[in-house]
Amino acid sequence: QSPDTERALVARVIDGDTIELADGRVVRYLGINAPETVHPERPVECFGPEASAKNKELVQGKVVELQRGSEEIDRFGRSLRYVHFGGVFVNAELVAEGYARPYIFDPDDRYSQVLVQLGQWAKLRGHGLWGVCD
């Protein structure tokens, strides 16, 4: 385990790109954006429930490895992290399977290129939201 990673228990999945840890911290996944399901000012978006369900399947109740990127906390006070479990890079898995889109605000961050390429691959193949949403 390197200094920029920590292990933590996922208490609950909030939506397709946000989780709450057992210690109460809320973590927003870096580099991706899943369709909304719980946004206070927006309706449930196309493929949002599926993205939330997939995120639950991947991490709920599990001890995950959280990896820092270049940004620590977003404007809502959520920790920003890359999430890994059991050899799966969760952020990348959600993009590759079409449950989330790449969302890059720091192109120099370590996984930006990979996430963008996975997003293009998923879109070309019509995976997930790319096959059913406008």
* Backbone φ, ψ for residue 54 (5° rounding): -65, -40
Phi-psi label, residue 7: left if phi above 0, alpha if psi -120 to 50, beta otherwise: beta
What phi and psi values does residue 130 have, to the nearest 5 degrees?
-65, -25
- Ramachandran angles phi, psi of 31, nearest 5°: 80, 0
DSSP 97: T
Which residues does residue 83 pair with via DSSP β-bridges, in sequence order? 66
Q: Which residues are catalytic?
A: 28, 36, 78
Q: How far apart are CA 103 and CA 95, in angstroms?
A: 10
Distance of alpha carbon 59 from alpha carbon 56, whole angstroms = 5
